[in-house]
Amino acid sequence: MDYSIKICGEAGQGIQTIGDTLAKVFSRACRHVFTHQDYESRVRGGHNFFQIRFSDKPVAASRKKIDILVAFDKESLVLHERELSENGQIIYDASTNPPSPPFDKGGRGGILDIPFTKLAVEHGGNKLMANTVAIGAVLGMLGMEPDILFEIIRDTFKKKGEDIIKSNINAVMAGHDYAVKQCLKCNFSAAPLSKSKMLISGIEAIGFGAVASGCKFYSAYPMTPSTGIMNYLAGKEKEYGIVVEQAEDEIAAINMALGASFAGVRAMTGTSGGGFALMVEGLSLAGMTETPVVIALGQRPGPATGLPTRTEQADLQFALYTAHGEFPRVIFAPGTPEQAFYLTNKAFDIAEKYQIPAFILFDQYLADSQWTFDGFDLNRIKFMDYKLRDDSFKNLSEYKRYAFTETGVSPLGLPGDSAHVVVTDSDEHDEKGHIIEDAETRIKMVQKRLFNKFALIRQEMEPPVFYGDDEPDILIAGWGSTYGVMKEVVDAFLENPPVPPLTKGGEGGFSIKKIAMLHFSEIYPFPLSVSCHSRENGNPGGIDSCLRRNDKIGAEKFDYLSLLNNAKLTICIENNATGQFARLMRAETGYEFKNKINRYDGRQFLLEELVEEIKKCGK
């Protein structure tokens, strides 16, 4: 069982509400779920869709083929009819937007006219419940009882009273019963699994990770796709004592976060490309004053306003090199909501441990995608207070905020916590924080905050996640939100090898089934490639024994460069035009990808499309 449902229509027609609700129903009914959205930058009108894939096995990417198309306007029929699978079905309210037949390009299931609005008025008492009718109809087509949906309705409308709840339940049943009786070609079977799942999006996971890491201050100016973090944390303000401030602009936002951090709380800010451009001076201030701060940077297609609601991975070099002067920074780029949760925690820990800025780099695709998991292990959350507090601060005979140390990390005292004065300055300064101009102190301070720290930070970075054959002939590599689709491509090649076979690879060609992926989520400082033979714990040798299939953060260190050099076909996959990650890898390791697959139309890779692109590289 592996079905995809696409709900389409104009902004303002409740497309996201239907999609969110169905995704909740499927996850609570023990199915594995993956969703993604596509919407235009407008409040009403335009063409939007919400796509849900659910299965009895884990899913991590969207497919091209659709099994049920819920169309709320004629444009949706025209645009998506060709995506229907062999037995795909369209449901549509012909009374409100008459279709222009024939619609015969898609599946054999054809088109089913369901009077959403009429049923909503007759059974729910309000035409606004047409969406509720549609949700009930989808469940009816799938042969699923609506009990879980009823629970969601009761929870959603409990403050509005029993009459509203009853009306929505009646609307659900109207759509459900209509589909059961009228959809004579429906042959879907949505078999349940054994355990309900947690459903979470990438943006929610970043917010959740911030709460779990002890974030107490978040400031931002709303900007897609990062706004969801502010909304999530604002919803937790009272429960967890978090101050969320909507600043007047991004300049204020980052400086507010730096002020909060200086005062002693864990602080975070978030934005997207144009907003980050405004934050740059504040970023440099964090570098000079060694003030911990976490920055969530949401990528979207640029330059300038670009495509504000769509996806791209084109801000990696921007995050790497923005700001003046030289100072250490850390960049994480999660590929799943699970990685987003744990890496946000790691960003807070490293930012405070080394007193540096740390980035969570994501994109619209990861932000809005929803995944199902059994749950997150909160025992893996790391929280250590690295600040100098109470008696340990008060009893010092002398305090130097920027004391020279072997690690480069100076004691982080809080103003007002003792009789010691905490001095900080954006000018170059001495150990006590006072302005200097002499060359000797300047050199020693750069050595302290840059070179001493950077070498230690680099040791904290985990190597890429490896998945697939231990001795791959084909090795695909990517970063950030490409994780899910790359993993499914590996599975697709293993289960259904391409025909005709690929031909490149030198003498004897290569085995199609010997495919694997490397996914980088800890981008900078670039992770070390560790030789298995040199590991202190005494690895018996051989690259096989160094590799560990591990989908989670914390994969074993291994010699990924040897893996790349031994593969017959390597491909770097990125959602940008110029291969920014491939360039970074060449600069950091000397390894150059001979093949690249780049997509830069504002859309993410789909499973079937990426399989075809990889086949082309192999021929």
Query: Which tens digit of pLDDT belongs to each residue from 312-337?
Result: 999 999 999 999 999 999 999 999 99
List, in sequence order, every beta strand (DSSP E) within 308-399: 330-332, 357-363, 370-373
User: Which residue, among 194, 200, 150, has the nearest Cα to 29 in the 3D structure?
Assistant: 194
Under 8 Å between Cβ of 52 and 33 = yes
**DSSP assignment of 224-282, as one string?**
TTTHHHHHHHHTTHHHHT-EEEE-SSHHHHHHHHHHHHHHTSEEEEEEEHHHHHHHHHH
Mean pLDDT of 581-605: 97
CA dist., res. 247 & res. 268, Å (int): 13
Mean pLDDT of 584-609: 96
State the pLDDT at residue 110.
78
Residue 469, pLDDT above cutoff 80 = yes
Cβ-Cβ contacts under 8 Å for 261 (sequence gap 6 or more) = 217, 267, 291, 292, 293
In the block, which residue shows the tokens 């697939």? 468
What are the backbone dihedrals phi and psi of residue 421, each rounded to the nearest 5 degrees, phi first? -85, 130
State the pLDDT at residue 619.
77
Residue 452, pLDDT above cutoff 60 = yes
Mean pLDDT of 475-489: 97
How many CA atoms are closer than 13 Å to the CA of 467, on its beta-carbon side? Answer: 23
Structure tokens at 565: 């050099």
In the block, which residue shows the tokens 């590599």? 477
How many CA atoms are closer than 13 Å to the CA of 473, on its beta-carbon side? Answer: 16
Cβ-Cβ contacts under 8 Å for 110 (sequence gap 6 or more) = 89, 90, 103, 104, 185
State the pLDDT at residue 45.
80
Under 8 Å between Cβ of 607 and 64 = yes
Under 8 Å between Cβ of 470 and 490 = no
Cβ-Cβ contacts under 8 Å for 285 (sequence gap 6 or more) = 255, 258, 291, 426
pLDDT tens-digit profile of 218-265?
999 999 999 999 999 999 999 999 999 999 999 999 999 999 999 999
Under 8 Å between Cβ of 170 and 124 = yes
Mean of all residue pLDDT scores within the chain: 91
User: Which residue, among 481, 472, 487, 476, has the nearest Cα to 594 in the 3D structure?
Assistant: 476
CA dist., res. 90 & res. 77, Å (int): 8
CA dist., res. 449 & res. 452, Å (int): 6
Under 8 Å between Cβ of 49 and 80 = yes
Kindly indicate the confidence band of residue 95, based on its pLDDT and cuts at 50, 70 and 90. Answer: confident
State the pLDDT at residue 13.
86
Kindly indicate the confidence band of residue 207, based on its pLDDT and cuts at 50, 70 and 90. Answer: very high
Residue with more model confidence, 11 or 420: 420
Cβ-Cβ contacts under 8 Å for 397 (sequence gap 6 or more) = none
CA dist., res. 369 & res. 35, Å (int): 5
Mean pLDDT of 442-469: 96
Structure tokens at 530: 């560790």
pLDDT tens-digit profile of 508-549?
566 677 899 999 999 999 999 875 444 344 443 334 444 443
Mean pLDDT of 154-158: 92
Instruction: Say how many C-beta atoms besides its own lie within 10 A of residue 374's C-beta.
Output: 9
Kindly indicate the confidence band of residue 499, based on its pLDDT and cuts at 50, 70 and 90. Answer: low
CB-based burial, 129-142: b 16+ in 10 Å, e otherwise: bbbbbbbbbbbbbb
State the pLDDT at residue 536.
41
Residue with more model confidence, 194 or 210: 210
CA distances from 246 to 250, 259, 269, 308, 479 (A): 10, 15, 10, 20, 31
Structure tokens at 290: 């060694």
Under 8 Å between Cβ of 497 and 560 = no
Strand order in the sheet with 84-92: 110-113, 84-92, 66-71, 2-11, 45-55, 32-38, 370-373, 198-201
Residue 52, pLDDT above cutoff 80 = yes
CA dist., res. 225 & res. 368, Å (int): 8
Please tell me the total number of residues recorded for the chain in this structure. 619
CA dist., res. 333 & res. 521, Å (int): 5
Q: Give ∠ CA 25-31-36 in degrees, rounded to 5.
A: 70
Cβ-Cβ contacts under 8 Å for 479 (sequence gap 6 or more) = 313, 316, 333, 335, 519, 520, 521, 523, 574, 581
List, in sequence order, every beta strand (DSSP E) within 161-233: 198-201, 215-220
CA dist., res. 569 & res. 594, Å (int): 8
Instruction: Say how many C-beta atoms besides its own lie within 10 A of residue 375's C-beta.
Output: 10
Under 8 Å between Cβ of 436 and 428 = yes
Alpha helices in 359-510 (DSSP H): 364-368, 390-394, 439-446, 453-460, 483-495
CB burial of residue 600 (10 Å; 0-12, 13-18, 19+):
middle
User: Which residue, among 321, 332, 322, has the nearest Cα to 358 in the 3D structure?
Assistant: 332
SS3 string, 392-429, reads: HHHCCCCCCCCCCCCCCCCCCECCCCCCCCCCCCCCCE
- Radius of gyration of the chain from its Cα atoms, rounded to whole angstroms: 27
State the pLDDT at residue 104.
60
Q: Give ∠ CA 424-427-431 in degrees, rounded to 5.
A: 50
Q: Which of 128-137, 375-384, 506-515, 602-611 has the lowest mean pLDDT?
A: 506-515
Residue 372, pLDDT above cutoff 80 = yes
Residue with more model confidence, 69 or 109: 69
State the pLDDT at residue 101.
55
CB-based burial, 50-74: b 16+ in 10 Å, e otherwise: bbbbbbeebbbbbbebbbbbbbbbe
State the pLDDT at residue 369.
97
User: Which residue, among 507, 512, 327, has the nearest Cα to 426 in the 3D structure?
Assistant: 327
State the pLDDT at residue 531.
57
CA dist., res. 160 & res. 165, Å (int): 8
Residue 73, pLDDT above cutoff 80 = yes
